[in-house]
A and B are shown apart, each in its own frame.
Chain A
Amino acid sequence: MSNAPQADGLQVTGRVWVFGDGLTTDDMYPPDAMKLDIPEAAKQVFYNVRPGWTDQVGRGDIVVAGRNFGLGSSRPVAALLNQLGVAALIAEEFNSLFFRNAVNAGLPAMTVPDATSIFSDGDLAAIDLATGTWTNRTTQATGKVPPLPGLVLEIIAGGGILPRLAQQGYLPTDLVDILRSPAVAAAGQGSGA
């Protein structure tokens, strides 16, 4: 069993960072960051909740949060998380707009009740969205949640919604590969609020 972070469409293994309940999109994408380009804006994720975190998080890491994760606006937070290298999200409960934003940016997201008790900072987590299984490789705890609908899994596995649009001829096809990068994809069609 390798301890190196890995992400393969619907399966992600990575080191976790554990946050609390009720994190809003203003905590992750504050208004001031909306004036900046993605790499600069990404430095403000959790600016007030956990200052300095953006220097510590690494490629392939997983963010674990509590209840009502992502309440707030339609700002493309997933683009910032991707910029920081975050490979997946696990939460006890997601706000549906935030969850959809993750899916549409191709960022794997799994709802695991009690996630913040199951995982501690630095644990190695493995999730498989296709089967709904999660494992804490550090503590050996493991469990299963209902898998997401096939249509949702397809969007995530395809790297988000924009590569699909290119394949279907709504966008120039030479963009298909570039659009697989969630940062590009989310920035590609502007922002929301």
Chain B
Amino acid sequence: MGMTMMERILARRAGLASVAVGDTVTVDVDMTVLIDLQFSTMWLQPLRIADPDKVAIVMDHAVPAPTIKDAAGGPHARRFAAEFGISRFYDVGRHGICHQVVAENGLARPGEILACTDSHTCAGGAYNTAARGLGPAEVYSILCTGRTWFQVSPTIRYELLGEMPAGVSGKDVFLHVANEFGDATNLNLEYGGPGLASMPLHDRRTIATQGAELSADFSTFAHDDVLAAHFEALGVTDYQPSHADSDATYADVREIDLSTLVPYVARPGTVSRNGLPVTEIEPRKIDQAFIGSCANGQLDDLRIAAGVLRGKQVAAGVRLIVTPASQQVYRDALRLGYLQDIADAGGVVTNATCGACFGYHMGLVGPGEVCLTSSTRNFTGRMGSPEAEIYMASPATVAASAIAGRIVDAREGTAR
């Protein structure tokens, strides 16, 4: 019987000819990524680990350290990296949000398995990788043993057709899917079809990343020419992509005609069945606008935001916070003038970190405030006070709304 992309990867890394829904398999993990939070407070240095070449350490969530607890993690990470000879150590200065660093360095490779201590590790699915977030204890175990287990979940296939219109981004595709189909708890998501060819990699990353908000296990994109060119540019060629069999079994196949989509906005609380086209959303006044995170702090997101903001001014009473997803993105956006445009418009460009996205160490929202974010989560309390409201939209929508002072359709102005 045919297998989905995900089933093929799991079978291969389990050393089996095939796997089927419901099977529990033990697999070899190709890359294990540890984040700074893993090292804070009571880190236990292991006696031995499986393979230092299959480990990366990324300082991202709380850097430069905002608390003593976080600061205490740094020396643990450095000592661990030095003692075990971990060369892929992205310390402060070479840092960035782990999923961005993973992408930039080609650590999520087609047909392979990647594990990381962050729930948005499914971002790696954009690269045809079986990537998912696991808890700190499990990642620690994989670090030691090089292996873990998965139960094979049923897969939903999204068949992409057509091309996205101007002014519509991956975020809008995701918000549409979330609104239309709701949660995918304990299911895998697979994206492919003829519409994929015209979808830029950064949009795929946004969609793959946010599989976490749908409660999906894995979200994986097909391997195609765009991906092949991306890895060639990175000098990565020795991989084996995973293709779905034509007779693979799916729990559901859903067609998305990209050409019919419009920008979407998710209302506060959840993205699941909780969105509206931007043209129908209530004209909400906003206090904070945020562009950043692993989903939408990519160079292209900053390019789009800068394009909207250039020559304009952020409305009085609105804070626009822009966080490049990595030091690399920061440097590129600096060179290309995007950061200048954003700052000239009255936006605050921050250090590359998770920061405001998880309401931990900057850019928090207060009681009664309204935030429009392009990050990953609009849960109650996610970005500060549980009495704040968090709406979610694309970087273009967030930038245009920062100028207007309320949620607006970027396409009316200088979209894209």
Contacts and interface: CB of A to CB of B under 8 A. Distances in A.
Interface of A: 22, 24, 26-27, 30-32, 34-35, 37, 47-48, 67-68, 71-74, 76, 93-97, 100-101, 104-105, 149, 151-152, 160-162, 164-165, 168-172, 175, 184-193
Most buried by A among B35, B69, B185: B185
A189 B69 contact: no
B137 A76 contact: yes
Interface stretch (B39-47, B319-327, B342-350): B39-47
Contact of B137 (A96, A161, A175, A193): A161
B119 A97 contact: yes
A97 B215 CA distance: 9
A190 B136 contact: yes
Interface stretch (B197-205, B298-306, B379-387): B379-387
B138 A190 contact: no
A149 B386 CA distance: 38
A191 B381 contact: no
B380 A100 contact: no
Contacts of A189: 38, 43-44, 136-137, 139-140
A188 B133 contact: no
Interface of B: 24, 26, 35, 37-44, 46-49, 61, 67, 69, 73, 117-119, 132-141, 144-145, 149, 151, 153, 183, 185-186, 212-213, 215, 217, 270, 354, 358-360, 377, 379-382, 384, 386
Contacts of A35: 67, 69, 360
Nearest to B73: A190
7 contacts: A31-B382, A31-B384, A35-B69, A100-B138, A161-B138, A189-B140, A190-B37
Contacts of A169: 47-48
Given A48-B380, A73-B118, A74-B134, A190 B39 contact: yes
Contacts of A105: 135, 137
7 nearest interchain CB pairs?
A: A190-B38, A101-B135, A170-B144, A189-B140, A149-B24, A192-B117, A191-B37
Given A171-B46, A192-B37, A67 B386 contact: no
Contacts of B134: 74, 97, 100
A100 B119 contact: no
B186 A171 contact: no
Nearest to A35: B67
A93 B136 CA distance: 22
Contact of A31 (B117, B132, B138, B360): B360
A192 B381 contact: no
A68 B215 contact: yes
B346 to A, nearest CB: 27
A165 B144 contact: yes
Given A76-B136, A149-B24, A170-B145, A31 B46 contact: no
Given A68-B183, A100-B138, A187 B42 contact: yes
Nearest to A150: B24
